[in-house]
Amino acid sequence: MLVHHRGLAPAAGPDTAVVLLRRPLPADPTTWAATPAPDLTGLAAALDALPADTGAGAAPGALPGYVPTAGWTFADAARPARRPATAVAAGAPVAVAFDVDLGATNPANASGADVLLLALVHRRDEPVTLPSGGLRDAVLASSHASARSLRLV
């Protein structure tokens, strides 16, 4: 995913973090907008505590201090959160990669299933937040969130 920053001063890589969540979507797409947003209690502190290089060392397999709300899981179970390798500046987005298993061998990936990916970007001086309510409105009102639905075939 690409991390963008709209501020005048670049956002330092070690001060920025991204978490990618996923959840199955109901069969009726007209209900998707009302999908409840995840509770973010503890997420900012958990992301602040990440090491500067989230790609080094053994994969932690968790994000100590944060457990996703029921129905949500980490899209990349081995490394649920990442930091950009470089500063993020206006007009210079930085790619942050996640290893998401969308293959048929994963039982959560039934053919024809709809899955939602939710990226949340946090910066120490600007913690990640989501307005309460349905996920559609929360994402549209937040500069910290991006969502994408996928149909698995």
Convert 84-140 into a string of H (helix), E (strand) and C (coil).
Answer: CCCCEECCECEECCCCCCCCCCCCCCCCCCEEEEEEEEEECCECCCCCCCEHHHHHH
Range with lowest mean pLDDT among 16-20, 54-58, 90-94? 54-58
| Whole-structure pTM value | 0.90
Specify the 3-state DSSP secondary structure of 48. Answer: helix
85-133 tens-digit pLDDT: 888 888 888 999 999 988 755 666 677 788 999 999 999 888 888 888 7
> Hey, what are 75's tokens?
């899209």
Map tokens 């980490």 to a residue.
74
59-88 tens-digit pLDDT: 788 899 999 999 999 999 899 999 998 888
